[in-house]
Structure formats: C-alpha cells, structure tokens
Structure 1
Amino acid sequence: MAIPRTENTFKLPDLDENKTPEKPKSIRLGTPRGRVTASNARLLAFAGMFPGVDSESLSVLNRSQPSRISAGGELMTVRGTEQYLRKLYNLDALEKFRDAVSGVTSYGLSKLGIAYAHEFDYDMTHAASLDGISIERLKHYRMIARVAAQFASPAGFFKGSLGVEPVGLDQLISEHEMRAAFTPVQRQLVENKKQGKSNDYGKLRLELLKRALTDAQDGRIEWSNLLEAHPVLYTIGYPRRENSKLKYVHQPDLVINLDKDRKQKSQNILVEVELNKKSWDQYDSILATLKSELDKPYVYARAVYFTIGSGVETLLRKVDAAGDYKLFSSGKLTVLPICNRDGDPLRPANRVRVQTH
C-alpha cells in the first residue's frame, strides 16, 4: 500500500519585522572588516531582486580582485563568495534559510541590507523579502535567480547560445517588479467589475499598447523608454473571447530588457524557468499566446525556456508542431538547460519510490 501524498504547507520561519533599518553612517570602498564594499553591495542588490538565491549563483556576479597571491580577474569562487555572505549576514544585511532536505542555503535582503544597497545607488524599490516564501516555491525562485545571475555575469554565459552580452542588474526585470506594476491595475479591474465596467485586462493592455506606440511614433516618448513608462505591459494578456486559446493574463518568470538602443521593434527576451512539465492543453494555450505576442514584437522579441532534463522541451516541440505555431523553426522560442557555474546542465533529481514490506 503506497503512502498517501500530502501537501507541504510549511513556510519559512518568521523574521523579526520590528527591526528598524538603520542608515549606515559611512560605507568606505575597500575590504576592511565589518564594511560593505562596492562588490558585495552588488550581491546585496541582487539578493533583494531575487530572494532565494544561493551562494553559487551569487558567485558568478563578480570577478576577483588582484591580491598578493592572485592576479584577479576570474569569477569569484563559491567559497570566497560564502565568506562575503557570512560577513554580510553578521552585519544584519542578509536573511538566510537552509533547506534541511537539499542542504542548500538561500539568501534574501534584510531591511538594513536595503539601506546599504541604496548607499551604492541601487534602486531597491521592488526589493522582496525571503520571509514567507513557501518551501514548495523556494527551489523555483532559486533557479530563476540562477538564470538571472548568469545573464548578469561578466563571464557572458549566453554570448554563444543567445548572442547576449552580460547585462546590468537594471536590465533584469524580476517577477516582483512586474507584479508591482500589475497589482494596481488588477485592483482597478476588480473595482470596475463591482461598478459594472469592463474588467478585461487583455482589452486594457491592448488599448494601452496602442496609445504607447502612438506616443513613440509621434516622438512624445523615446522607443527605449516605452516599457519604463508603461511597465504593466510586461504582463501579457489578451481579451476574453469565446473558444480563444490566448491567455487572459500571463506573467513571465523573468524579462531581460535589451531595449536600450531600440528603434521600433523590441529586443526584449521573455524568460520562463520550467522545473515541472505542464499538460498538453496548458502548453497549447501558452504557445498560442507566445505566437500572438512575438509575431508583433512591441514588448518581446523572443522567448527562452530554461529547463532541467529533456521532458519539457520534448513536449513543447510536439505542441508547437501540432499547433503549427512555428516558434522553434522561426527562432522565436529557444529551450536551454539550467546549468551550474561550470556550464554543466543540472540533472533531474532522482525520485525516491516507496516500497512496502
């Protein structure tokens, strides 16, 4: 008799919310004991953008500095990064949580850490806490952080596969940033429904996009500023129509904003980090939505799925062929493996099967 499966509802332990952030009196550059430096302030900023990040992912964000025993210039080692993280944790700049099953420690930014990151001119408006993330979601957040860190790494992880040079942290649009832009609109749509007005996000987005494109074409706004002016457009949505496959609301896991030199067509990359395979119908709806979105590249130019193992890609290709979406053949959709810092693809975890006696 198999043991019945139960839903894990554990949350990360509560942190001290009464702790008042204290703005540091002075933060000097360099590496003296007990101080936040420019290089580890970058680690703080990233942890605020992507709570759940682990030490391996943070290790690819910086290069080592010259020293008496090293010429520097290589990526920081994981061990060296962990030493920095311990220092930052002792300075109350970081939160952390160790998963007793995987043994992995995840990091997030504390309130004091937000103040420290501000001192180095990082915009922490959308910083999110590690506290309250469910254990079920923690691995997903950790893998999103890994992919984001590799896009920002000076090592240029995606130069060959995607033709993308290392990006700045400000070019990484996190789920939290997208949610912050979408939530006020969502509230307004709820109020609209109460008042008998349209609560169709897809219709609202289409109208907003038309206005934004007209403003750009008429020179009232620069093309490169279109999404900075209207960040809610990162969240995809299509009007509700009977028998339509297109999703009413779809928010990606991550966006790489490459619109700095944009003229008309967007260059942005929509990123999905897929750890578990969805159903055929779910992917059919997603791919139909992606085709509609990418055929008119006003917000996104292409999409990339990052996966572990081959199962997701195999199913995506089958659905793409059956729906005649041609996303793979057109180069608008790519699937890449989630890799460690050495470029080796992660392997699916072995499933432990119950055996009764």
Structure 2
Amino acid sequence: MAIPQNAVEHQQLPEVEITDSPENETKREAKNRPSGQYITEGNAKLVAFAGLFPGCDSEALSMLSNRQETRFAPGGELPSIKGTEQRLAKIERIGGIEKFKNPATRTTHYGITKAGIGAAWSYGYNMEHAASITGLSIERLNHYRFIAHIAAQFASPAGFFSESLGVEPVAFENLLSEKDMRVSYDPVKRQLEERKKKGQSGDFGRWRESVLKSASQAVQANKLDWENLIQARPALLTLGAPQREDTKRKLVHQPDLAINLDSQRTSSRAKNILVEVELSKKSWEAYDSILATLSAELKHGMVYDRAVYFTIGTQVGTLLRKIDNAGGYGLFASGKLSVLPITHRDGTPVELNRRVIVKGTK
C-alpha cells in the first residue's frame, strides 16, 4: 500500500525532479512563502536529510547538529525533540518539507518538497537523488524510519558509534542510502537483461567480479586511486556473487545503508561499512545465504571492510550467531560482523510495539 496523494496534510508531489537550476527554483518558490520567512542554513540541514532519507522522524532529525548557545540554554548539545518539531513545523509552513502520520504507529514521517530541494541545493547539499515520501509503502515506513535513524546517528556530532564501531561523525555525502545504490545498480541491471536476451551472460555476480578485477588493474596502472573506487564504480556497493552450481551466495544483495569511509584509503582493503537494519527475523535459509555472501565479500574486502546489523531485541543476533557458527563463516570471531541494538538518542533500546514509543524527548 503506497501513501496516497491526499494522505498528507497538504498536496503531495508526484515526483521529485529538478527542471531548472536550484537558484532559480528557490527564487520562484520564494514568491509563495509567507512574508519574511525563508529556510535558514541550519534548517537546510534538516530539509536535506529529509530528502536523502525520506520517512525520517523528528528524533532522527534532532540528532543531526548541536544547538547554538542562547541565554535560555547552553550550546554544544543536541536540541530537544520537541524543539526540533517546532522547527519542522516552521519549515513545513514555508513549504520546504511535507509530512505523513502513520495511522498504525502514529509516528509522523517527513519528506522533502520541490522547494526544499532547491533550498538544500542553494546551501551546497547534493540533492541529485533526493526523494519525497509520495509513493512510499506504508508497510515499510517503519523500516525507512529506522534506516534514517541509524544514518542520523552516524552523522550526529554526538558520535553515537565512536566507541562501539570506532567511527566518528560522518558527512552527509558519505551516507549512501539504498536508493543511492539502486540508482547505480539499475542501469547495470538493464544492461545485463539486454545481454541475456542476446544469449550472453546476465549474471550480475560475474559482472561485478569483472569490474573489481578491472578496477584493481586501473589502480596498478595509476589510472585510479583506491580512495576513489566507490565514487568511480558505485554499482559495486550492491553485492552479488556468480551463480555457479550449488552456491549459497546471492546473485544480488542490496544493503540498507553504506558508510563510505574510504577518504584515507591507500590499499586494496576498504574501510567502508555495510549496514543492515533488521526489524524482524528472516528464515535460517535466508540468513545463511546472506552470511555466505558477506563471508566472501569481506574476505577480499575491496568494497566493504565490515558489516553491522542493527536490530530490535535479541532474536536476530542470536540466530545470526548460530548460522555463522554452523556455516563455519567465522564472521563474528573475526570482527567482520557485529550486531548492535537500535537505540534512542538517550541510549535506551528501541522497543518495537504497536505505537513505537519515542523516548528521550526532553
């Protein structure tokens, strides 16, 4: 079930598409804003994130930057969720974002508008793959919400993963969403489908192996630097294995999120992190196929160095460890795979229930 056009509190956009320069778009939209109101640099960050991770909630957006010091509150701390919601209400009135309240969880999800895209561009954010919330599946809204939640924690100045993963705050451009990866993968998919029609190989895993080999050769020939591998070959972020006889590895596996940490990379070993956000448990067979794929991927490590599952409760982590042990993959023992709880900004674990209670609102 997709979000209907009239499900939000104002008219939805059918598609997010830039048909003019961001500057002209912003000037044109400004004519329709209330007098004296505009999107500030600080609020542009919220707008940009809502475009990069549509379906995000106010808690995720509250973690993106520290508030400025005022006579009423100290600086250097995350703003309250309530204060962030007040900022979001103002941005919505101006026309930079739109929202949808999930009737099942009663969570409010945010997305970007066309005017918001123009404003974010004008402040230097790359909105090439920005998307609205129009058309998102209601059944998957919680999944989108928590992918955005984890992405916000990676970007947050609070350094949520500095101890658990040794990762300091990450810039927006290094947070690669599933849509970013699909934009790069889909042309390859179409190309392989055309090859298959001609009787040639349409195996994405074989294509990926070939591209990895050619990229390595390009580095050796000083035509490519390791730190630019992902930028030059973004389709490699989608995993895939050649479909040889009796293989358990997946032909195509799309991660929920990729964290690009390759800016200081100098060798064939990547620094990037593959992220999965798991709200419910899959079957043994499904996880066995995924772990077999991850085992081979992380062994050569040219694209990802490690993988992290973010989960609610203990069931997924327990099952993954059993399968890792039964399959002899050694992913947990090597430190290449870890499981972390999804936590609120105050550190308390998220509990997935009917209403999805948001804590840490003070």
Closer/same/farther in 2, CA of residues 18 and 219 from structure 1, 3 Å limit: closer
Say if 2:13 and 2:134, in contact at 8 Å, map to a contact too: no
How far apart in 1 are the matches of 2:131 and 2:219? 32
8 A contact 1:268–1:299 mirrored in 2 = yes
Q: C-alpha offsets along residues 136-185 of structure 1, whole Å, 9 cap, x if unaligned? A: 11000000000000000000000110010000001101111100000111
The equivalences for 1:165-204 within 5 A come to 165-204=168-207
- Matched residues in 1 for 2:222 and 2:151: separation? 33
Residue type of the alignment partner of 2:224: I
Conserved 8 A contact 1:92-1:110: yes
- Is residue 2:271 matched to residue 1:267? yes
Partner of 1:288: 292
Letter in 1 for 2:279: L
CA distance in 1, matches of 2:186, 2:270: 24
2:78 paired with 1:75? yes
**Which stretch of the first structure deviates more once superposed, 199-208 or 188-197?**
188-197
Q: What's the counterpart of residue 25 of structure 1?
A: 27
- For 2:310, the equivalent position in structure 1 comes to 306
1:162 aligned to 159, 162, 165, which one?
165
1:136 aligns with 2:128: no
2:95 to 83, 92, 95: 92
Find the residue that maps to 1:328 and give its secondary structure: helix
- SS of the residue corresponding to residue 158 of structure 1 reads coil
Name the SS of the counterpart of 2:333 in structure 1.
Answer: coil
Q: Say which of 3, 6, 10 aligns to 1:11.
A: 3
1:218 to partner: Cα distance: 2.2
CA contact (8 A) 2:257 2:275 kept: yes
1:348 and 2:352 aligned: yes
Give the letter for the 1:24 counterpart: T
Residue-pair matches, total: 339
Distance 2:15 2:141 in 1: 24
Supply the distance in 2 between the matched residues of 1:33 and 1:172 (Cα, whole angstroms).
33
Map of 1:151 onto structure 2: 154
- Opposite residue 217 of structure 2, the aligned amino acid is T
Match of 1:250 in 2: 253
Q: Which of residues 338, 341, 345 is equivalent to 1:334?
A: 338
Write out per-residue CA displacement over residues 313-356 of structure 1, whole angstroms, 9 at most, x where no aligned residue.
010000000001110010000000001110111123269xxxxx
Q: Deviations over 1:74-112 (max 9, x none)?
A: 101111111111111111111210012211100011111
CA distance in 1 between partners of 2:38 and 2:181 (Å): 32
Evaluate the alpha carbon distance shift between residue 305 and residue 344 of structure 1 in structure 2; reply closer, same or farther with a 3 A threshold: same
Alpha-carbon distance in 1 for matches of 2:42, 2:68: 10
Q: 1:221 aligns with which of 214, 221, 224?
A: 224
Q: TM-score, normalised by structure 2?
A: 0.90
Other-structure match for 2:9: none
Q: Which whole-Å deviations, capped at 9, do the CAs of 1:47-87 have from their partners, x for residues lacking one?
A: 11100000011000011112222231110111111111111
Q: Which moved more, 1:111-120 or 1:69-78?
A: 69-78
The letter of the residue matching 1:187 is R
Larger displacement relative to structure 2 (198-207 or 215-224): 215-224
Distance 2:120 2:284 in 1: 43
Asked whether the 8 Å contact 2:104–2:354 carries over to 1, the reply is: no
**Structure 1 residues 105 and 58: alpha-carbon distance in aligned structure 2, compared to 1, 3 A threshold:** same
Note the aligned Cα RMSD (angstroms).
1.9
Is the CA contact (8 Å cut-off) linking 2:312 and 2:350 kept in structure 1? yes
Unaligned runs of 5+ in 1: 1-8, 352-357
- Post-superposition Cα deviations, 1:238-276, rounded to whole Å, max 9, x if no partner, equal 111111001000010000100000011100000000011
CA distance in 2 between counterparts of 1:67 and 1:25 reads 31
**Does the CA contact (< 8 Å) of 1:273 and 1:305 recur in 2?**
yes
SS in 1 for 2:163: helix
TM-score normalized by the length of structure 1: 0.91
Q: Is the 8 A contact 1:234 1:299 kept in 2?
A: yes
- For the Cα contact (< 8 Å) 1:57–1:146, is it kept in 2? yes
Residues 18 and 185 of structure 1: CA distance in aligned 2, closer, same or farther (over 3 Å): closer
Contact 1:272 1:305 in 2 (8 A): yes
Q: Is the 8 A contact 2:275 2:309 kept in 1?
A: yes
What's 1:317 paired with? 321
More divergent stretch after superposition (159-168 vs 69-78) = 69-78
| Deviation readout 1:32-57 (Å, 9 max, x if unpaired) | 96121111111111111100000011
Q: Is the 8 A contact 1:12 1:97 kept in 2?
A: no
The equivalent of 1:105 in structure 2 is 108
Secondary structure class of the residue paired with 1:312: helix
